[in-house]
Amino acid sequence: MKMNNLSFKGGTHIKDYKDLSAEKATERMEDPKIVHIPLDQHIGSVCEPLVQVNDVVKIGQKIGSSSASLSSDVHSSVSGVVTAIEEMYTTDGSLSKCITIETDGLNEVDESIKPIENFKSLSFEEKCDLIKGAGIIGMGGAGFPLHSKLQSAVGANIDSVILNGAECEPYLNSDYRVMLEKTVNIVEGLQIIKEMLNAEAGYIAIEDNKPKAIDAFNEIADNYNNVTVASLVTKFPQGDSTRIVNAVTGRRIPSGGRTSNVQCTVTNVGTVNALYELVSEGKPVYERIVSVTGQGVKEPKNLMVKVGTSVKDVIEYCGGFNDNANKVLSGGPMTGNTIFDLDAPITKSTTGIVVLTEDLEDTRLESPCIKCSRCIDVCPQFLMPNIINAAVNKEKYDLADEHGANDCIECGSCSYICPAKRKLTESIALARKEIKLRKK
Ligand code: SF4
Ligand code: SF4
C-alpha cells in the first residue's frame, strides 16, 4: 500500500546538503588500533563493566551490563585486550566511563553470536530480555532502549507501528543508506515488532526527498501483510515522533503525552534493522552507519564504524579537514551538538559527524524582535517562541511555563527562521531547565 504527500502543520524548509554523501554506498571503515566504548550509550542506568584491565575480548562479547530495567547492554566492537577503564569526554561534552580496548587484528567473533532460531516461540518478556542483552537502542539519535519502548507499548493497544525513515536533519544520510542497503531486513524487523505488540498496521514513513528509498520499499511492501509506505512532505522536523504520528495517522498526541496515548509506536529504521540482525544472526549492536559529511571534510562518506572509534580516526579516514573547517558536530546542525574533543568515541546513537565551514556560519548578531511572527508560524508545537523568549529575558519563568515552554521539542526551527537572529531555542531550553528545577 502507498500513502503520499503526508505532512503536519508548522515546520520549515531547510537547505539540506544531503547530496554531499547521499549516493555514496556505505563503506566499511578499517578497525582502528584502539576503541573507547562508553558504558552509558543509552537513556537509563549506566552499565557496570563485566571485564577488567588485561582481559582478552572478542567482537560482540558483552562487556557492560546493568540489572536496571531502563538500561541496555554494551559489547566489544573489536577483538583485543582491555587496557583501561576510565572516564573520558564523549561527543555531547559529558564525561563517561569508557572501556578502552587495543585491537589485536585477529577479528575473533564471540561464540555467543548465532541466530536465535526459536525467537517466535519465546514469551514477550524473553524477547525483551534478548533485545536488552543485545544493546539495541534508538539509533536515530535518541538512545532510548528498544525493549523499554516495547514494554511501555505492550499494554496500550497499539494498532500502528510506524518506522521512522524521515531523516529530516540536514546533511545526514545514515538512515537513507540503511533503507537502501537493508530494505528487506527493515520490513522483516517491522513484522517482528508488529507481532510482539499484536499491532495490525505497519508503516514505513519516509520524506519525499528520498524517492529511491520509497521505491525500494514499494517494490516489496505488497509481499507483506498490512505494510504501507508513507511518503512525507520534506519539512523539518518531520522526523520528530509527534509529527510523524500526526502525518501518518492524523492523530494528535496530547500535551505531555506519548505516541502510545494514540495507539502508535515509532521506531527508527536503523533500530529495526538491528532487531532483525539480532534475530537472524544473533548480532548485538557494536557497529553502525555514520554519515561523515559537511563542506569541511575532504571526502564525505557513509561509513560502517565500530562503536568506540574516535571522531578523529573517522575524519582522518575521510581525508581529514578542509582548510576552512571550523566546527565539528555530532548529529545534524539543527539538533546536534558541537564536539570539542576529537578523541570522543562514536556511540550506538551517533548518526553523523558533520564538519561545517566558516563561510556557512551566520555571524549576524541578535537584534530586537520585529514582531513578524514567523517563529509562531513554523513552531510545530504551536507555541509562541517570541513571547516565551521575552518572558525568559525578564526571568519570568512562571510566565514561560504558562505559555507552554515545556512542550518545546528544541527543534531549532524558530531560531532558524528568525530574521532578528534571536536565540529563541536556547532561551526556551533554559526556561525548561529552570521550570524543572522549580518543580522539584
Ligand atoms: S519553540 Fe521549540 S518546538 Fe517551537 S519551533 Fe522553537 S524549538 Fe521548535
Ligand atoms: S521570528 Fe524573530 S523577529 Fe519574528 S516575531 Fe519571532 S522572535 Fe520576533
Cα–Cα dist 376/386, whole Å: 8
What residue owns the CA closest to ligand 1's atom 4?
379
Q: Are 248 and 6 in contact (CB under 8 A)?
A: yes
DSSP string of 40-107? Answer: --SSSPPPEES--TT-EE-BT-EEEE-SSSS---EE-SSSEEEEEEEEEE-TTS-EEEEEEEEE-S--
Ligand 1 residue neighbourhood (C-beta within 6 Å): 378-381, 383, 385, 408-414, 424-425, 428
Expressed in angstroms and rounded, the spacing between residue 265 Cα and the centre of ligand 1 is 23
Q: How far is CA 18 from CA 49, 160, 178, 345, 354, in A?
A: 38, 29, 15, 24, 11
Q: Is 440's pLDDT higher than 80?
A: no
pLDDT in tens, 334-345: 999 999 999 999
Q: How confident is the model at residue 202 (pLDDT cuts 50, 70, 90)?
A: very high
pLDDT in tens, 207-263: 999 999 999 999 999 999 999 999 999 999 999 999 999 999 999 998 889 999 999
Length of the chain measured in residues: 440
What residue owns the CA closest to ligand 2's atom 6?
375
pLDDT in tens, 251-295: 999 888 999 999 999 999 999 999 999 999 999 999 999 999 999
Q: How many CB atoms lie within 10 A of CB 73?
A: 23
For the CA of 417, the nearest ligand: 2
Q: How confident is the model at residue 318 (pLDDT cuts 50, 70, 90)?
A: very high
Q: Is 28's pLDDT higher than 90?
A: yes
Which ligand 1 atom is nearest residue 385's CA?
1
Q: How confident is the model at residue 1 (pLDDT cuts 50, 70, 90)?
A: low
**Cell 521505491 sits on residue:** 215
Q: Is 142's pLDDT higher than 90?
A: no
Residue 6 has a pLDDT of 75
pLDDT in tens, 91-125: 988 999 999 999 999 999 999 999 999 999 999 99
Whether domain 2-19+114-281 has CATH 3.40.50.11540: the reply is yes
Q: How confident is the model at residue 4 (pLDDT cuts 50, 70, 90)?
A: confident
Domain boundaries, the chain: 2-19+114-281, 374-439
Q: Write down the pTM of the prediction.
A: 0.93
Q: Are strands 62-65 and 74-75 parallel, antiparallel or unpaired?
A: antiparallel
Residue 326 has a pLDDT of 93
Cell of 337: 551538538
Question: Can you tell me whether residue 213 is helix, strand or coil?
Answer: helix
CB of 283 shorter than 6 A to ligand 2? no
For the CA of 379, the nearest ligand: 1
Residue 155 has a pLDDT of 87
Average pLDDT over residues 300-317: 98
pLDDT in tens, 350-383: 999 999 999 888 788 899 999 999 999 999 999 9
Q: How many CB atoms lie within 10 A of CB 9?
A: 11
What residue owns the CA closest to ligand 1's atom 2?
408
Residue 285 has a pLDDT of 98
Residue 7 has a pLDDT of 76
Residue 42 has, within 13 A of its CA and on its CB side, a CA count of 31
User: What is the percentage of the chain residues whose pLDDT exceeds 90?
Assistant: 91
Question: Can you tell me whether residue 287 is helix, strand or coil?
Answer: strand
Beta-carbon contacts of residue 96 (< 8 Å; ≥ 6 apart): 38, 39, 40, 46, 87, 88, 89, 90
Q: Is 179's pLDDT higher than 90?
A: yes
